[in-house]
Structure formats: structure tokens, C-alpha cells
């Protein structure tokens, strides 16, 4: 139990407090006082649970014993925490080696369990970086997400993917750097289109020397580090010299590169006195809902702005929401030297200390009250206020649509979960069925699912384009999970993209599985397949809603979202299936070895000509597999 638990799969220690099994009457303050006496003075994570075993709150601590005993003093707690303590019936804890491990474990557990009294950061996906990959003779520039496992320099993160895309294209125009993979690079015999549109210097066919290419790489790094004036001055001198020597085409190319640099500066560069690397966060709360607006600057350039809408209790205070947000946001990201917030900086001492230890550099959290930094905080605050208003209006509209749907389907309560189903295929090939989910907060992409149609029976050509069969397979597989009770929420409403035939198929499946209490409807195109003429099918009738009915707009919107997701899933499956090469037929070759062969030989033609010695010297290639590949081509 003193061993640090892995953040990705922490065990639940139900026997942490064996004495408590005989003290079932203890609750709230009493159980916290009792537990704190048994806790070690070590860093770790604690969980508070109610009498049903449901997790109420997950927290971290530098010293578990000292942290937990604080909850016994109700006068020092907010109303939210007082309610939480009163509901606590049991506690579990996990000891870690360091406070940083506790932070990472806490964030993982919060994401997994989503406790009622925690502040939960919803949109916490990884942000892209621009990577200059040094693993190649001619380094490659690309947009990259994920763990920093490749050798090279990473610039970012770019909170706005569109800013990352724009910057990458501008860098290609300004410095003519390659962006293609090694496989493409090694197999070029003439320049590609990027060379023709002046976004690459064609190192693949040796149109530029290694020395000159390396110089442009260094210039790109300097530019990304903020030394824009030096690079612009250098290119200006080269342009003037080219013009003097009557090399007008070269001068024109240099002029275009300078324009690209100026474009990046125009849209991204922002001057903040004494600050080049800084994150700015401002929080606003309206009617118990909050928005945190972030503005991100690196090397004097704006790397994007973003609004976050964390989930929290209605009585949570702005400083505790922002504190929890910062812990979760920087758990898997590097923090800049300074962070500006619109709350009292005294509330963020713990954040500072943990980020200092995690990033191994001094990080300061400030709440400016005058000057240039204060103006940026007010701007972020204004954005947070406007975005929470928009979010609130959107939620109100969505709530009104759910009320209309409730009335239309004669439901007893507002639907918590609506599932919408659709299929997509090309003449029966690569068939995919999808499910999208709508909850009381709107679309819920994390709950979307796609089903590759398996055709469990031996189908003839007709059954492969049978929408009824596909709908039956998708619903059967979905309901199978409900019957197995694999932590699946039963929907209140199911909507099918199709006519009465599809509706009857689903109706029969629900009846067979004793789930006919689920409300059911389908949507089919009207005459001439015009939008606005849709027919709504329920088990008892067919209904044409008025063309301007808000309920019709809502149904159309979620139907179109299901259609979009189905087409995207189908295209993805079709494209993967169409990419097939002789490498896929080689014995003993998986993704890693295939990559090694492609990197070394570049093409199937070169692989065919390879000697046994060359095959054996390939990375990740055992001699027995090399022999099999050689025999494959030479038997």
C-alpha cells in the first residue's frame, strides 16, 4: 500500500481501513476524524464515497493525514464541501512517492470517475505542436500531437489547431522545408507539387545541398523562437543582392518568403512588455455555470485562444474552480514561466509549488491590477463573459427542444439520453452503422459509436444492400451490451434515419429484448427528398411537422449529425481497405517491421531486389523472418 500506484490503472484499495467495517454508524465528520488517525504522513490521493459506494470527491495531498483532517472542521469549509462531508460514509486512499505522482493519479481518477463534487475539465484533449524532426538527413517539419517520442524540437502547444495549420503552411512558404514522410521522400525521382507551388526546396532530388538545407532549418528555429527581425533582415539582403545581379526570379522567390514571414507576424505577434512566454486565464460565473477563457503566447506569438466550460457544483467558487482547472490542464503539459489569472494569487500557492517541481523551473502565477498585463486579463475576462452567455443561450435552446420532444412523444420526464442511428455503404461494400448520442447538454461525441457491419449470416448480393439487415445488426449489438450490463446507460429515446420499415425492425428488436419502454421514432425524406418535408414516424402514426417548427429543426440537426458521422466512418473504412500493398502479404510482418522495411527500401520493387544480408540488417528484423521474406520473392 505504500507503493506508488500507476496513474493509468490504479487499484481501488477497499481494505485500507479494515476497522471501519464494524463502525458502520460513523458518517461525515466522525468517520473523517476516525480515518485521519490511520493515515500516513505521505503524499497520495484520497477518495470520499457515500453509503452506496459512489465516489463523491477525489483529492490529492502532500501529506494525507494533515489534508484529510481539515475536512473535520466544517466552519472552514464552503457550503459545497460541507454537503460533501455530510454525505461521506467511507474513504479510500492511494499512497504515492511524490506530490507530482499524486497530481497525475488524481487527474486520471477524476477523468475516469467524474465525481459529483470535483471540478471536471471536459475539453482536455492534447494540443498540437510543430515538430522539426531530426531523425532524417533532411529534417522534416510537421504538425504533431501526443507524447514527445521523436528526436527533434517541439514548438507549441498551439491551442488552436487552425493557428498551427496556418503557421505550418507559412513556415513551408518562408523556409521551403520538406513535410513528406521518409517513404515518399526516398522514392521521389522528380520534385512533387509542393516544389512547384514554392512550398519545398525539393531536397528529395538534391535540388538543395545538406549544408544549405541545414541553414534554412536553423533559420526556421530562430523564427519560431521569436528572432523574426534577424531572419527578415537576412532575406532582405539576399533579395537585394539577387536583384542587383539581375537574378529576378530568385529575388521574386525571396520576396514571397518575406511576405510569408510578415503574414505570420501580422496575425500572431503580440507585444506584452517583459513577457514572451505566458498563459492568461480569466474565469466568469453566471447562474452557476462557468467559463474559463485562455490566451496562450509563446516567443512573443499568439498560439491561440480557447474557452473551457468545466463541470462543477452550482455553489463552487471561482478561485477553487480555476485552481482545479490549472492542476488538470497542466498535468500533461509544460507550463510557461508566468501565468496570469483574474483571481487573488494567494489562492494558487499550491499550484505554483507543484508546477515548479513538475517543470523543474520557477513558475509565477500573478493577478495584475494595472498596466499592460491587466489589459490582457480584462480582455480574457470579457471573452469569458461573452462565451458563457453564448453557452447559456445554446443550452436554453437545447432545453426547449428537449421539452418539445418530451411533449411530442408524451414522455413522463425530460429525456436524459437520445440515441440516433444511421448506416452508410457503397453498393453494400464497407458497410458501417453508427450511433450518436444527445444528452441534456447537447451532442455528446465521447459516446458516439461506429459498428462495422459483419453480415453474420452468409449474405447474397441483395442482403449486402439491405438497410433493414444492417439496422438489425447494429441495434442487436448495441442491445447485447445493455443485456450484459456492461455499464451502458439505457436510452430514453431512439431515433432512426429511415422510414416505417426501419422503425418496425427496431421496434421488434426492442420488444424481443423487453426494452419496448424506450420511445421510438424514425425520420424519412418527404416528397422529392426536400428538407422541411420530412415525415416523422412513430409506432402509431406518421406526422408532418410544420416547416418552421423548432422541433423539426432539432430533429433535422441531430439526424444530419448522425448522417455526417456515418459517412465519415464509412469513408475511413473504405480508404483503409483500399490501401493494400505487397508488404501486407509478407509473412511475419506487422506494423513495426513494415515501417522498418519501408524506411530502408522505400518501395516493393527495391525490396524484391534486396539481398538476404540487406534484409537481415534491417531494424527489428530477426534472421528467421528475413529468410522468409527472401524466400517469398525468390522461391
Q: What is the pLDDT of residue 36?
A: 81
The full DSSP string for 287-312 is TTEEEEEEEEEETTEEEEEEEE--B-
Q: Please determine, for residue 578, whether its predicted confidence score (pLDDT) is greater than 60.
A: no
Rounded to an integer, the average pLDDT of 318-323 is 90
pLDDT band at residue 577, thresholds of 50, 70 and 90? low
Strands (E) located in 332-439? 338-341, 364-366, 417-426, 429-439
Residue 80 shares a structural domain with residue 173: no
Residue 507 shares a structural domain with residue 593: no
Rounded CA-CA distance 376/287 in Å is: 25
Q: Which of 525, 423, 429 has the alpha carbon at shortest distance from 470?
A: 423
pLDDT band at residue 571, thresholds of 50, 70 and 90? confident
3 state DSSP class of 44: strand
Q: Please determine, for residue 18, whether its predicted confidence score (pLDDT) is greater than 60.
A: no
Q: What is the pLDDT of residue 127?
A: 83
Lowest mean per-residue pLDDT among 97-101, 229-233, 264-268, 296-300? 264-268
Residue 421 shares a structural domain with residue 566: yes
CATH of the domain at 42: 3.40.1440.10
| Cα distances (Å, whole numbers) of residue 8 to 11, 101, 105, 242, 614 | 10, 11, 8, 58, 40
Residue 50 shares a structural domain with residue 160: no
Residue 43 shares a structural domain with residue 97: yes
CA angle 552, 555, 561 (to 5 degrees): 140
Last residue of a domain, one of 577, 604, 619: 577
Q: What is the pLDDT of residue 334?
A: 84
User: What is the percent of the chain where pLDDT is above 70?
Assistant: 88
CATH of the domain at 450: 3.30.420.340
Residue 587 shares a structural domain with residue 600: yes
Q: What is the pLDDT of residue 551?
A: 92
Domain membership of residue 397 (yes or no) is: no
Domain tally, the chain: 5
Q: Which three cell numbers stand for residue 97?
A: 512517492
Q: Which of 335, 279, 276, 266 has the alpha carbon at shortest distance from 300?
A: 276
Residue 432 shares a structural domain with residue 564: yes
Instruction: Provide the angle, in degrees to the nearest 10, between the axes of the packed helices 228-244 and 248-268.
Output: 160
Q: Please determine, for residue 17, whether its predicted confidence score (pLDDT) is greater than 80.
A: no
Domain membership of residue 291 (yes or no) is: yes
Per residue in 327-379, pLDDT tens? 888 887 888 999 999 999 888 988 888 888 888 888 899 999 888 888 889 99
CATH of the domain at 293: 3.30.420
More confident residue, 50 or 2: 50
- Which domain range does residue 94 map to? 18-113
How many separate helices (H) and strands (E) can be counted in the chain? 20, 19
Residue 492 shares a structural domain with residue 613: no
Q: What is the pLDDT of residue 19?
A: 38
Per residue in 113-140, pLDDT tens? 888 888 888 765 678 888 888 878 888 8
Residue 205 shares a structural domain with residue 103: no
Q: What is the pLDDT of residue 461?
A: 45
Q: What is the pLDDT of residue 146?
A: 79
More confident residue, 260 or 189: 189
Domain membership of residue 422 (yes or no) is: yes
Last residue of a domain, one of 224, 247, 268: 268
Rounded to an integer, the average pLDDT of 533-537 is 87
Residue 28 shares a structural domain with residue 104: yes
Per residue in 142-193, pLDDT tens? 888 877 888 888 887 888 778 888 888 888 888 888 888 877 888 888 888 8
pLDDT band at residue 559, thresholds of 50, 70 and 90? very high
Rounded to an integer, the average pLDDT of 407-433 is 87
Residue 380 shares a structural domain with residue 510: no
Domain membership of residue 610 (yes or no) is: yes
Domain membership of residue 26 (yes or no) is: yes
Radius of gyration, CA atoms only, the chain: 30
3 state DSSP class of 238: helix
Domain membership of residue 120 (yes or no) is: no
Last residue of a domain, one of 113, 145, 165: 113
Lowest mean per-residue pLDDT among 16-20, 26-30, 56-60? 16-20
Domain membership of residue 124 (yes or no) is: no
Residue 549 shares a structural domain with residue 597: no
Domain membership of residue 152 (yes or no) is: yes
Amino acid at each position: 500500500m505504500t507503493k506508488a500506484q500507476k496513474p493509468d490503472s490504479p487499484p481501488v484499495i477497499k481494505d485500507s481501513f479494515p476497522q471501519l467495517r464494524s463502525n458502520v454508524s460513523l458518517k461525515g465528520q466522525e468517520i473523517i476524524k476516525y480515518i485521519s488517525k490511520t493515515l500516513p504522513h505521505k503524499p497520495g490521493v484520497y477518495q470520499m464515497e457515500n453509503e452506496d459506494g459512489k465516489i463523491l470527491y477525489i483529492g490529492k495531498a502532500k501529506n494525507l493525514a494533515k489534508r484529510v483532517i481539515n475536512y473535520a472542521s466544517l466552519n472552514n469549509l464552503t457550503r459545497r464541501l460541507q454537503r460533501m462531508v455530510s454525505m461521506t460514509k467511507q474513504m479510500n486512499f492511494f499512497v504515492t512517492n511524490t506530490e507530482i505522482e499524486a497530481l497525475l493519479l488524481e487527474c486520471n481518477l477524476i477523468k475516469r470517475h467524474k465525481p459529483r463534487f470535483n471540478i471536471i475539465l471536459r475539453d482536455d484533449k492534447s494540443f498540437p505542436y510543430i515538430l522539426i524532426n531530426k531523425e532524417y538527413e533532411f529534417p522534416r517539419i510537421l504538425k504533431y500531437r501526443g507524447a514527445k517520442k521523436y528526436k527533434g524540437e517541439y514548438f507549441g502547444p498551439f491551442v488552436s489547431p487552425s493557428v498551427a495549420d496556418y503557421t505550418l503552411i507559412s513556415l513551408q512558404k518562408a523556409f521551403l522545408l520538406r513535410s513528406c514522410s521518409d517513404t515518399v521522400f526516398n522514392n521521389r525521382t522528380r520534385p512533387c507539387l509542393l516544389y512547384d507551388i514554392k512550398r519545398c526546396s525539393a531536397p528529395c532530388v538534391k535540388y538543395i545541398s545538406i549544408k544549405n538545407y541545414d541553414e534554412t532549418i536553423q533559420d526556421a528555429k530562430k523564427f519560431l523562437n521569436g528572432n523574426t527581425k534577424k531572419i527578415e533582415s537576412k532575406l532582405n539582403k539576399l533579395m537585394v543582392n539577387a536583384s542587383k545581379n539581375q537574378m529576378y526570379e530568385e529575388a521574386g522567390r525571396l520576396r514571397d518568403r518575406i511576405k510569408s514571414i510578415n503574414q505570420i507576424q501580422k496575425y500572431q505577434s503580440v507585444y506584452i512588455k517583459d513577457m514572451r512566454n505566458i498563459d492568461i486565464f480569466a474565469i466568469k460565473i453566471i447562474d452557476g455555470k462557468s467559463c474559463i477563457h485562455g490566451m496562450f503566447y509563446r516567443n512573443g506569438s499568439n498560439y491561440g485562444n480557447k474557452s473551457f466550460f468545466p463541470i462543477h457544483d452550482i455553489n463552487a467558487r471561482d478561485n477553487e474552480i480555476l485552481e482545479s482547472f490549472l492542476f488538470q490542464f497542466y498535468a500533461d503539459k509544460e507550463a510557461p514561466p508566468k501565468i496570469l489569472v483574474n483571481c487573488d494569487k494567494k489562492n494558487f500557492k499550491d499550484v505554483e509549488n507543484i508546477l515548479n517541481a513538475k517543470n523543474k523551473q520557477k513558475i509565477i502565477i500573478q493577478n495584475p491590477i494595472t498596466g499592460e498585463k491587466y489589459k490582457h486579463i480584462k480582455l480574457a475576462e470579457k471573452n469569458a463573459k461573452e462565451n458563457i452567455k453564448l453557452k447559456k443561450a445554446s443550452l436554453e435552446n437545447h432545453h426547449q427542444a428537449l421539452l418539445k420532444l418530451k411533449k411530442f412523444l408524451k414522455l413522463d420526464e425530460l429525456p436524459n439520453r437520445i440515441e440516433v442511428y444511421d448506416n452508410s455503404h457503397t453498393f453494400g461494400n464497407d458497410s458501417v452503422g453508427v450511433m450518436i448520442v444527445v444528452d441534456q447538454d447537447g451532442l455528446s461525441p465521447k459516446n458516439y459509436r461506429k459498428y462495422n457491419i459483419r453480415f453474420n449470416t452468409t449474405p447474397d448480393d441483395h442482403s449486402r444492400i439491405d438497410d433493414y439487415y444492417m439496422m438489425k445488426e447494429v441495434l442487436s449489438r448495441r442491445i447485447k451490451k445493455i443485456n450484459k450490463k456492461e455499464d451502458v446507460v439505457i436510452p430514453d429515446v431512439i431515433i432512426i434515419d429511415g422510414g416505417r420499415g426501419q422503425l418496425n425492425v427496431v421496434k421488434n428488436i426492442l420488444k424481443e429484448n423487453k426494452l419496448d419502454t424506450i420511445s421510438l421514432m424514425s425520420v424519412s425524406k418527404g416528397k422529392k427528398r426536400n428538407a422541411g418535408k420530412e415525415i416523422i414516424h412513430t409506432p402509431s402514426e406518421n406526422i408532418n411537422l410544420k416547416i418552421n417548427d423548432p422541433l423539426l429543426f432539432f430533429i433535422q440537426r441531430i439526424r444530419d449529425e448522425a448522417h455526417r458521422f456515418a459517412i465519415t466512418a464509412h469513408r475511413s473504412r473504405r480508404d483503409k481497405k483500399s490501401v493494400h500493398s505487397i508488404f501486407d502479404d509478407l509473412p511475419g510482418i506487422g506494423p513495426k517491421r513494415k515501417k522498418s522495411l519501408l524506411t530502408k527500401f522505400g518501395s516493393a520493387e527495391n525490396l524484391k531486389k534486396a539481398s538476404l544480408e540487406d534484409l537481415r540488417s534491417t531494424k527489428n528484423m530477426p534472421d528467421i523472418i528475413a529468410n522468409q521474406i527472401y524466400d517469398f520473392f525468390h522461391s
